[in-house]
Amino acid sequence: MKHIFLFISFCILFLSCNDEKQKSLSSAEDTSEIQKTWWKEAVIYQIYPRSFKDTDGDGVGDLKGIIEKLDYIDSLGVNMVWLNPIYSSPNADNGYDISNYREIMDEFGTMEDFDLMLSELHKRDIKFVMDVVVNHSSDEHKWFQESRKSRDNPYRDYYHWWPAEKGKPNYRYSLFDPKGDAWKYDSITNAYYLHYFSAKQPDLKWENPKVRQEVYDIMKFWAEKGVDGFRLDAFQFVSKDTTFPPLPEGYEKDVIKYYGMGPNLHEYLKELNKEVLSKYDVFAVSEGAGSSFADAHSLVDADRNELQMAYHFKGMDVGNSLDRYELSEFKEVYTQWDSAFAKEGWLSIFLANHDVPRMVSKFGNDSPEFRAASSKMLNTFILTMRGTPYCYYGDELGMTNIAFDSISQYQDIVAKNGYQKTLNEGGDIEQYMAELKFLSRDNGRTPMQWNATEHAGFTDGTPWLPVNDNYKEVNVAVQQNDPNSILNYFRKMVKFRMDNPVLVYGDYELILPDNDQVYAYTRKLEEDKMLILLNFSSENVQIEIPEPIKDLELLTNNLDQVSAQGNNIQLQPYQALIYSYK
């Protein structure tokens, strides 16, 4: 509801539009209390390559498309790019099923395209993160093709096989299987193989040192080409108890507890660090961080010599249901994780990726009235928290969920197999469809909206996944020239973060903890102090900033006006303000 209120002061703030991007606040590590490094200071832009820009009319994005858009990416001010997998793949899971780790997927282009893309990124001082998917390969990878041929094949031990004469192995839940069964019987050798994800994604046997050596060689191959970072897919799952003991009934409700952080994980990570990471100026980020702060610390603390960064799923889990979320829960998760990593370790900050709904549909308000304000507000959050921000393509425009109605519209293996599983189990299919409509991974994978021409300028052909109907209003071309657009706000905020080390390294403190509409926090680095106020609601909210915070000076505003008197501030719906203070 809108209230009438008095504007006590008006302030329109335009941040400096200085084009010169500050790429890095520090070039080398120093040994002061907080260890400063380039990957902590980065702002990462995640691109789902299938959906970014198609140049050959096959309806699928490609590397030439990314090359064509490099100046756009550069104009965002980001200094690192992460691409979802671009290796050869039969695409059962859109590239997360790799059939050759040293080749580029045909649909995406060639190795020459890759080399050009990488050198053009580097020319622009933008670093590059490679997705590494080695918990599993594709069943079409040569290793698996060999492995399944005979029990004495040299590649047999690259995967987890269970001879059928021993009986059916103990139940293992598969996240993607239509029957939920992670063991697939293979008649060629009368044995079952393990697949935590789909049957087309057999799990690699990390317990075999040859497998690990293969992985290190692959990572070195890409490091030699000059990639700057690795995102380790589903990595917490790689180590397994290969006796496959029975697990408690219903364990699949907490799969990370039972599959994550297996017995030899740290040994493998130390080896990977020694063999690969320590030899190059690269960082590695783990997808997933176990179930506790201790697990996450054990992966990323500097003295562990394992990984540099992790992203935990707790933030992603907030709001992952039709019941949506309470701001109190959101604040609690981010505050607890921040405080647990205040002194040691480093995390990522993100509100969306290719596995979850669009940020503004999930955490903001995607109605035409509030889409812009709430997108800007959420981008402010990502860019003012401690941790390395990961910004998902299209969120700089406020792209929204596509919200399909019919199962035939979905492309994602998780949606299709989940539908089949619900039918198989006689589950509530209406409920399942309602959940998909909001939560499906396809929501976050629709083509990038470049302009108002057909298919939003993404392709001349038929896009592999339809473009969102709102592309005529939500696209780069319309936002490019509008100084108040989400896009231009995003650019200003990226620059603002890069210009202000307090937002990278400063201490975080939650204030107004009980306010259920406003998320307010401070960041402090010596004399540098900032107050961030984010109204997560569609209402005007009056707040009073507690002492000793005083002498507020407005630095940024996602709307045109501010109503404030001293420490009393009235926030408009989805308003995001940053102040300096004494």
Least distance in angstroms from the C-beta of 468 to ligand TEU: 20
Ramachandran bin of 173, using left for φ above 0, alpha for ψ from -120 to 50, beta for the remaining angles = beta
CA–CA gap between residue 177 and residue 452 (Å, rounded): 39
Task: Name which of 287 and 396 has its Cβ closer to ligand TEU.
Answer: 287
- 233 annotated active-site: yes
How many CA atoms does the CB half-sphere of 222 hold within 13 Å? Answer: 29
Tokens coding 498:
């890069």
Q: Which amino acid appears at position 178 of this protein?
A: P
Q: Which candidate in 203, 233, 366, 412 is catalytic? A: 233
Interface characters, 116-135, with ligand TEU (x: CB under 6 A) = -----------------x--
Interface characters, 359-388, with ligand TEU (x: CB under 6 A) = ------------------------------
Binding residue (CB under 6 A) for ligand TEU from 234, 269, 373, 383: 234
CB 392 within 8 A of CB 316: no
CA–CA gap between residue 205 and residue 208 (Å, rounded): 6
Task: Name which of 353 and 538 has its Cβ closer to ligand TEU.
Answer: 353
Q: 282-321: which residues touch ligand TEU (CB under 6 A)?
A: 287
- 181 annotated active-site: no
Burial class (CB in 10 A: 0-12, 13-18, 19+), 160: buried
Query: Which residue number has the CB closest to ligand TEU?
Result: 96
Per CB under 6 A, 203 contacts ligand TEU: no
Per CB under 6 A, 414 contacts ligand TEU: yes
CA–CA gap between residue 526 and residue 62 (Å, rounded): 46
CB 450 within 8 A of CB 472: no
CA–CA gap between residue 388 and residue 495 (Å, rounded): 14
Binding residue (CB under 6 A) for ligand TEU from 233, 338, 395, 442: 233
Binding residue (CB under 6 A) for ligand TEU from 41, 93, 306, 396: 93
Interface characters, 437-456, with ligand TEU (x: CB under 6 A) = ----x---------------
SS3 285: strand
Least distance in angstroms from the C-beta of 175 to ligand TEU: 5
Residues that bind ligand TEU (rule: CB under 6 A) add up to a total of 12
Q: Which amino acid appears at position 283 of this protein?
A: F
User: DSSP letters of 179-221?
Assistant: T-B-EEEEGGGTEEEE-SS-TTSPBB-TTSHHHHHHHHHHHHH
Q: Which candidate in 93, 203, 287, 442 is catalytic? A: 287
Per CB under 6 A, 197 contacts ligand TEU: yes
Task: Please report, as ranges, the residues that interact with ligand TEU according to CB under 6 A.
Answer: 93, 96, 133, 175, 197, 233-234, 287, 354-355, 414, 441
Q: Which residues are catalytic?
A: 233, 287
